[in-house]
Chain A
Amino acid sequence: MDKPDETLVMRSRDFWAAIVLITVSVFFLWKTSDIPLWGENRAGVSGSDWYNSAAIVPLFIFGGLLGLSFVLLAISIRSGGAQNALTALGIGWDKSEAYRASTIGLILLAYVVGLVPRVDFILCSGLLITALTYGYYGGHARRSLVACIAVASAGLFAFAIFPAQADWNAHGDDWFTLVLWVSLTLVVLTKAASERLLRFVPLVAILAPLILVCAMAFVFRQNVPARGGLIFKQIEYHYYVTLRPLWKD
């Protein structure tokens, strides 16, 4: 794509961005009206002046944002962005790019929202590392779909079966994730014959989260996600019951 086209695409996208920004600014300006501005009770003090209000700076910020959004809209319209806003050029839809980005997005969403709170950190991170490496090394579209399905189904299962925080220590989703991880690892190992780099994936997928979670929990004494997870629960138990007495006593 040559330079002028790229600029035109950018200006068309700017048109949409300006509309989103105007909407957001107006919404937050409206929300700012919830904050007392003129002399009402605030923080237990009545009859304050306007300059004491907590709304002053937000008004300045969202007012500024609204003003700049209109300037951006004007620049976009002047550069032909509005004319192309609804064309394929304006939307800038590249099918393969969108496919890649959306599968990665879905994997990250399933991992952070579905898996990390509920599933043992070593298991879900191992699955994530295996999926991302296998799915995006070398740019094979089908592999990224397989990777996405594996992580998304694990995340969806955990999210759907154990939505409430009270159930996050249950192990059903841990087993499900483990099965998916092992299956995906077997798929990776079948491809490893032709692609040497893939041989290291299972090793990295096990060691990286294991070292990180143990360092965080036992070296830095920090909280880690899903403490009651299938593997970490055992590690923690043996650390305090079996290992620690060896040097504590």
Chain B
Amino acid sequence: MDFILSQLAGFGTAFVGLAVDPLTYLYLIASVFLGITFGALPGLTATLAVTILTGFFGNKIPLDYSLIALLGAYVGAIYGGSYPSILLNIPGTAANAATAMDGYPLAKAGRGGEALGLTTTASFIGTVIGTITLLIFVWALLLVSKNIASPEKALLALFGILLSGTLMSEDLVIKGWIAGLIGLAMSMVGLDPLLSEPRYTFGWSYLMSGFQVVPVLMGAFAIPQIIDGLRHVEAGKVLALKGRILPNLRSIRRYLPTIGRSGVIGTGVGALPGVGEDVAGWVSYGVGKTVSAEGDKFGKGSLEGLLCSETANNACIGGALIPLLVLGIPGSPPAAALMGAFKINNVIPGPTIDPEIILRVVAILVLASLTMFLMGLFTARVFIKILAIPQTIFLPVVMVLTTIGSFSVGGGINDLYLMLGVGAVAYFMNLMKYPIAPLVIGVILGSLFDETFRRSLFLSDGDLSVFFSRPGAAILMVLNIGLILSQLPVAKRAFSRLKGLSV
């Protein structure tokens, strides 16, 4: 009880500190608006919003304002994706794919206003659930993480990359693992972290410091999106918004258990390294369909189905920040971009992070979700107008933003060449259905894996049993091996046979 009270007191102090600063609102309103705009425009994603703002604000303003801008855009974009899902039947971001299943039929039936109002409320409650979970669990996990040594860190980094590769692959799981390994390989370029031995620099001095995070993020997330968006000419027809947007309190009360359950699922999925909001939305939707008394109405315009996905994808934000702040392992692709922002500000997320930063992140998330809620209710029609603007107007400006953001972080032309090179690779990987998130997570976690793996060997004099003999390391090793083995055809056949028996 004392712990919870002290937590609340710390949070209150951080919250008031931010709330009395007028600049906070300037950054909040601008970033949430930009985030919702990015989410509402199909082809622009939450990851892209956070990535571009990382380049633009990353290390140019105080960290607090930088975090307000990035988290505001993150929260706004995940929510904003519900607009085209409901009114165009095109998910604004992958996180809102499940929303379109019920949102569009509702809009066609003339209940678009009601759907948007409930979505706004559910997104707000979802973000708050994720944030509260973050506030409570992050400390307990930080205590545990302080006892984590090099072997566990190395295996955890590997687990994050493998899990992200496994869950983000839309074709073969092996492609996700390959993407993760490519990311790891990219992180090997430059001077090695322990002996300063140059690796794969090909005599180019720029590569001595390795690949900079921001150009890699920009290249991996922005360039393929820009090329893809310009390649596909899609003009959707926006349905007219009928009905009032202000939510009906009776409906919210009725669906409160659904919102609560979806919030918990979303937070849980978010806490898995590198998985993200799209998986959270679908998992919550699937669970909702299974346990709901009206499961047969899902996909035909069910308010419950709509709430399942929209609550979960926003709750995922708080969840995704748990592994990021506790272990330095991003829980979702936008969180990976956020990690880039931490890195360029010389803040190292993980067991040694300043607790003040965590409290401020929580306070910012609450403020951002409130801003999103008010904007969603009172300026929804502005965003609906934005839906009518074709991508070809926005994407060239995004390209210019990406270029200047990438250039300004490192201040060199080489960063732009790197961005373009990574962008070309990421574009072809996208084309071949390789997920990009594991690649980025591999780049971010590569140096951590390299350093901790080798430090473990240093300390054990080359004895590999160090990865089995410690309880934590043994558990993580089993998880890593289990994850790989679970994807073998033999294991998959066994699972399906077991399923068959249990039915």
Contact = CB atoms under 8 A, between A and B. Distances in A.
A52 B420 contact: no
Contact of B424 (A68, A71, A105): A105
B420 A28 contact: no
A200 interface: yes
A223 B175 CA distance: 38
B195 A52 contact: yes
B192 A28 contact: no
A222 B399 CA distance: 19
Contacts, number: 167
Given A132-B392, A208-B397, A224-B404, A72 B197 contact: no
B458 A52 contact: yes
A69 B177 CA distance: 10
B457 A54 contact: no
Interface in A202-224: 204, 208-209, 212-213, 216, 220-224
A36 B194 CA distance: 14
Contact of A65 (B181, B231, B408): B181
A167 interface: no
A128 B368 CA distance: 34
B178 A72 contact: yes
A53 to B, nearest CB: 8
24 contacts: A10-B433, A13-B432, A31-B200, A49-B461, A50-B462, A51-B462, A54-B192, A57-B188, A68-B177, A68-B178, A69-B178, A72-B174, A75-B172, A101-B231, A109-B420, A111-B399, A125-B403, A128-B400, A129-B400, A131-B396, A133-B393, A209-B400, A213-B404, A225-B407
B194 A54 contact: yes
B413 interface: yes
B395 interface: yes
Contacts of B404: 121, 212-213, 216, 224-225
Given A43-B195, A222-B60, A224-B407, A112 B416 contact: yes
- Interface residues of chain A: helix, strand, loop or mixed (majority): helix
A137 B392 contact: yes
A21 B416 CA distance: 25
B150 to A, nearest CB: 13
Contact of A17 (B223, B432, B450): B432
Interface string A135-170: 011110000000000000000000000000000000
A104 B177 contact: no
Interface string A220-246: 111111000000000000000000000
Contacts of A10: 171, 432-433
A86 interface: no
Contact of B408 (A45, A111, A224): A224
Nearest to A129: B396
Contacts of A55: 199
A116 B462 contact: no
B358 to A, nearest CB: 26
